Amino acid sequence: MGGGMARQLLSAKYKLICYDPDAKTLEPLGAAGAETASGTSDLAKASQIIILSLPKASVVESVIHEILLDIQPGTIVLDTSTSEPATSQAMSSLSTKHGFEFVDGPVSGGPAAANSGSMTMLLGGTKDAIQTLTPVLDVLTAKTVIVGGSGAGHAAKIANNMLCAANLVLVAEAVRLGEASGVKPQDLLEGINAGSGRSGVSEVNFPKWVLNEAFDSGFTMGLMRKDVGLAVDLAKSSGVDLSGFTDIAEIWLNGSAHISDSADFNEVVKYSNSEGNHA
């Protein structure tokens, strides 16, 4: 995702300083004219806007603490990772003390959208900081939604991915139910997508990646398992009952264990239920 965003910014003639622990990740960008920082400290000192695209909240926190003293006053840090609301709030509080802004802006759309500048970004932070980011956001996204203050973007992204995870399982079961009654999957989905049961999964995921068995969306089982875990953890810490999601979370976290973390996340439709049937 970070590479796709970097390519969009380079195409828009922004000057970038890119850093990744694995230098090979930056080689394709180097050909496009990106500069490689000798480390995160150099990047922080030279940048007015810092965009993070990292695996999880603990890494976000670690990176911010690593560069904290090098971030220049007035800098805006935009965190596009799928992180945790509490981490974003803590980083925002830290940024206030050190004279910079922290905005959470997790993204949807996958690598294809990152590479085409058509992502959706859910934003949490101050209106002034988000307004300053607008020219950059216009390059990276097709749609932005301001959902609240610090942490709101990541809370909304967790809720969104929870629904995506649930819909993948439920649409797979609906397809299996239809097939058992003699309805072809394509015909069933046409009917569903004309009615109230439609979703992004029934309209996009199944036609694009599931029914044709392409399973090449670019988003992995491991990443969605992480996001499902984030939803479960957020519910526990917030005291929210997710009883309707509990069985679906169990499918992602344990019931689909035979599907590797590196597999495409749409392959969850292959999970086995307790009777040994397959979606």
- Indicate whether 230 belongs to any domain: yes
For the chain, the average pLDDT equals 92
Q: How many domains does the chain have?
A: 2
Q: Report the length, in residues, of the chain.
A: 279
- Indicate whether 251 belongs to any domain: yes
- Indicate whether 275 belongs to any domain: no
Same domain, 163 and 124: no
In the listed set 95, 124, 148, which residue is the last one of a domain according to the structure? Answer: 148
User: What pLDDT was estimated at residue 36?
Assistant: 65
Residue 175 belongs to a domain with what CATH number?
A: 1.10.1040.10
User: What pLDDT was estimated at residue 27?
Assistant: 78
Same domain, 117 and 210: no
- Indicate whether 107 belongs to any domain: yes
**Does 171 have pLDDT greater than 90?**
yes
Same domain, 82 and 161: no
**Does 73 have pLDDT greater than 90?**
yes
Same domain, 125 and 25: yes
User: What pLDDT was estimated at residue 161?
Assistant: 96
Same domain, 159 and 89: no
Same domain, 144 and 248: no
Same domain, 15 and 115: yes
- Indicate whether 279 belongs to any domain: no
- Indicate whether 144 belongs to any domain: yes
Same domain, 31 and 61: yes
User: What pLDDT was estimated at residue 25?
Assistant: 82
User: What pLDDT was estimated at residue 279?
Assistant: 47
Q: Is 15 labeled as catalytic in the residue annotation?
A: no
The whole-model pTM stands at 0.89
Binned at pLDDT 50, 70 and 90, residue 22 comes out as confident
- Catalytic residue, chosen from 13, 45, 97, 157, is 157
* DSSP-assigned letters across all residues of the chain: -HHHHHHHHHHTT---EE--SSGGGGHHHHHTTPEEPSSHHHHHHH-SEEEE--SSHHHHHHHHHHHGGGSPTT-EEEE-S---HHHHHHHHHHHHHHT-EEEE--EESHHHHHHHT-EEEEEES-HHHHHHHHHHHHHHEEEEEEEESTTHHHHHHHHHHHHHHHHHHHHHHHHHHHHHTT--HHHHHHHHHTSTT--HIIIIIIIIIITT----SS-BHHHHHHHHHHHHHHHHHHT---HHHHHHHHIIIIITTTS-TTSBGGGGGG-B-TTS-B-
Same domain, 219 and 117: no
Residue 87 belongs to a domain with what CATH number?
A: 3.40.50.720
Binned at pLDDT 50, 70 and 90, residue 278 comes out as very low
Per the model's pLDDT, the better-predicted residue between 21 and 179 turns out to be 179
Same domain, 39 and 22: yes
User: What pLDDT was estimated at residue 120?
Assistant: 96
In the listed set 116, 148, 180, which residue is the last one of a domain according to the structure? Answer: 148
Tens-place pLDDT, residues 116-153: 999 999 999 999 999 999 999 999 999 999 999 999 99
In the listed set 93, 126, 148, which residue is the last one of a domain according to the structure? Answer: 148
- Indicate whether 261 belongs to any domain: yes
- Indicate whether 167 belongs to any domain: yes
Domain enclosing residue 104, as ranges: 2-148
Q: What is the mean pLDDT of residues 54-74?
A: 95
Q: What is the mean pLDDT of residues 212-224?
A: 95
Same domain, 26 and 139: yes
User: What pLDDT was estimated at residue 277?
Assistant: 45
Same domain, 52 and 78: yes
Least confident of 8-12, 196-200, 217-221, 268-272: 268-272
